[in-house]
Amino acid sequence: MAAMDTDELSVVLPSSNASGLSLSLHPLPILNISEHLTRLKLQKNTNSPFVIGALLGTQTGREVDIIDHAFIEGRRDQYKQVFPSLEFIGWYTVTPQPTAKHVALQEQFTKYCSTPLLLILQPSGSFNTVTDVNAQTLPLKAFEPTIELRDRKTRNVFIEVPYNVAYCLEAHLQTQRAAVKMLHDRILVLVKYVKDVVAGSAKKDHDTLRALSALVASLPATENKEFREEFDTEYEDVQLTAFLSSLTKSTNILNDLVDKHNLMSGGRDDRMGAGPRRRGGRQATLMGDWH
């Protein structure tokens, strides 16, 4: 009976226990986690698939930035080559609240990080916009592992961490665009030099030509069928993310227009003495379509 009582205990400490962690959540992992859930729903044909993944970010003292998500084993080294400043800082899953199962999983991630964070995406049915820790309207919660002393025994539990969404994606993309533009300009200079050498209007520099030949030989072959399929998939994912972002923005604008229309129509009906029953039913229909 005692073991059963222990299992039924919540693994999340009350909100009165504050965490001193400063957490910044970037928009990109939010999109990636949502995409991961949607993809598994379609692949497994279930509304409640088991979703789990890793989080990459930076940590300075008690300040943590969650930048992106990745696989643990297969792609960790690849991500370190592309993003050497990012470290494994935690993991994510989809659940209403952390349970004892998540505590057991948490212990497995300690081999990559001594205190991995847990970020959960709450299903729509269990999402509560009013919390004591986060005043966010996103169905996301972050937790930090800690140890609770109860009845002279210790157990691993979670404590909720407040977070803020860092809207710096545009600045990051601008930096990446500038770097790509610089690389493109330098490639154009090399292409022009080779064309001029072939046309005889530029002097041959054998050291430069050998360096160019070695550079071209070191590039991976792009005619591979698997590479082309993977590239097309990544390209389609990026385009879909951009489309969803534009669609969300358009929906928000349309919601604002509907709210203003309902407000003005309601005031006009009040002045004209129209019955509120019909207007109320129409308003409920409009709002239900978009919220």
Q: Tens-of-pLDDT digits for all 291 residues of the chain?
A: 444 444 567 888 887 676 678 888 877 788 888 888 888 888 888 888 888 888 888 777 666 666 555 555 556 666 666 667 778 888 999 998 899 899 988 888 888 788 889 999 887 655 454 444 554 567 889 999 888 888 888 888 899 988 887 765 556 566 677 778 888 888 999 999 999 999 989 888 989 889 888 888 777 655 667 777 877 888 888 888 888 878 888 888 888 888 888 888 876 666 665 544 444 433 333 333 333
Give the Cβ contact number of residue 255 at 10 Å: 15
pLDDT for the residue 120: 92
Helices (H), the chain: 2-8, 27-44, 76-82, 100-109, 169-199, 206-218, 225-272, 276-290
- At 91-146, the pLDDT tens digits run 999 998 899 899 988 888 888 788 889 999 887 655 454 444 554 567 889 999 88
pLDDT for the residue 192: 92
60 phi/psi in degrees, rounded to 5: -125, 100
Residue with tokens 């949607």: 38
Residue with tokens 């044909």: 45
Q: Would you say the pTM of this structure is higher than 0.95?
A: no
Q: Using the 8-state DSSP alphabet, how is residue 126 labeled?
A: G
- CA gyration radius, the chain: 27
Q: Between the CA of residue 3 and those of 8, 98, 148, 158, 279, what are the distances in Å? A: 9, 19, 16, 19, 57
pLDDT for the residue 3: 42
- Residue from 167, 135, 174 nearest 65 by CA: 167
Indicate the burial class of 90 (C-beta count within 10 angstroms; 0-12, 13-18, 19 or more): buried
Start-to-end CA distance of the chain, whole Å, equals 45
pLDDT for the residue 170: 59
